[in-house]
Amino acid sequence: AQKITQTQPGMFVQEKEAVTLDCTYDTSDQSYGLFWYKQPSSGEMIFLIYQGSYDEQNATEGRYSLNFQKARKSANLVISASQLGDSAMYFCAIRSNFGNEKLTFGTGTRLTIIP
Amino acid sequence: GAGVSQSPRYKVTKRGQDVALRCDPISGHVSLYWYRQALGQGPEFLTYFNYEAQQDKSGLPNDRFSAERPEGSISTLTIQRTEQRDSAMYRCASSLEGGAYYNEQFFGPGTRLTVL
């Protein structure tokens, strides 16, 4: 079984500051992928970034980067230079690379950017 | 191109009625997934298909829930004899090919189901 834990139900961050959203995971799989999705108030689910368990480099996508620490089983999302439009729910998810392809999500972190 | 579409976007029904939720995946996407999202929670897996074959239905809560994808494209999630606890957002997602190491799932807008 796989599990994602997001311990920050809500965060408030000043505009232009960097923010780190925590995600720890539990899995017995050797090969897996970690995903972050953004869900704004409109309700859509927007894919942000992916990290494979065997990737040696931390993933980056524009202002998003993933601080992947495999030994600690953590995959924190870092947003640099936050913007008002970053206010949303953020979900971390894990998926096995073999067999079942379902995503297992955490409970999410609600990020609010303060102007 | 068009994204994943779902219909209806909102469905209000009375307890005991059957409902059918439709998902139209991105053209050419092999894999299709159904999730359920309660308010304030992350999506929870229900079932998924590769082409027309249902690969895993372990997330379906009970036998009132069923899903099909007869031609490997559009999928329908059916809930029979709805109960109030079935009220949630039902989300569909699709991806190019299941099993690939990096395989982003594209989510639809969801169907908000309310059972009175």
Question: What integer pLDDT is reported at residue B100 of this predicted model?
Answer: 56
Mean of pLDDT values over A39-43: 93
Contacts of A91 in chain B (CB under 8 A): 42-43
CB-CB under 8 Å, B40 with A50: no
Report the C-alpha gap between A92 and A103 in whole angstroms.
10
pLDDT, tens digit, for every residue of A1-27?
899 999 999 999 999 999 999 999 999
CB pairs under 8 A between A and B: 62
For residues A8 and A31, the answer to whether their CB atoms sit within 8 Å is no
Report percent pLDDT > 90 for chain A.
87
Query: Which tokens hold the place of A94?
Result: 């894990």
A103 reaches B (C-beta below 8 A): yes
Cβ of A102 within 8 Å of Cβ of B33? The answer is yes
What was the pLDDT predicted at A10? 95
CA distance B75 to B91: 12
Pick the residue with more confidence: B90 or A100?
B90
What pLDDT does A96 receive? 87
Q: What is the pLDDT of residue B57?
A: 93
**B18 touches A: beta carbon within 8 Å:** no
Mean pLDDT, all residues of chain B = 93
User: Which residues of A, range 55-84, sit inside 8 Å of B by Cβ?
Assistant: none
CA dihedral A40→A44→A49→A51, nearest 10 degrees, is: 120
Categorize the per-residue pLDDT at B104 as very low, low, confident or very high, splitting at 50, 70 and 90. Answer: confident
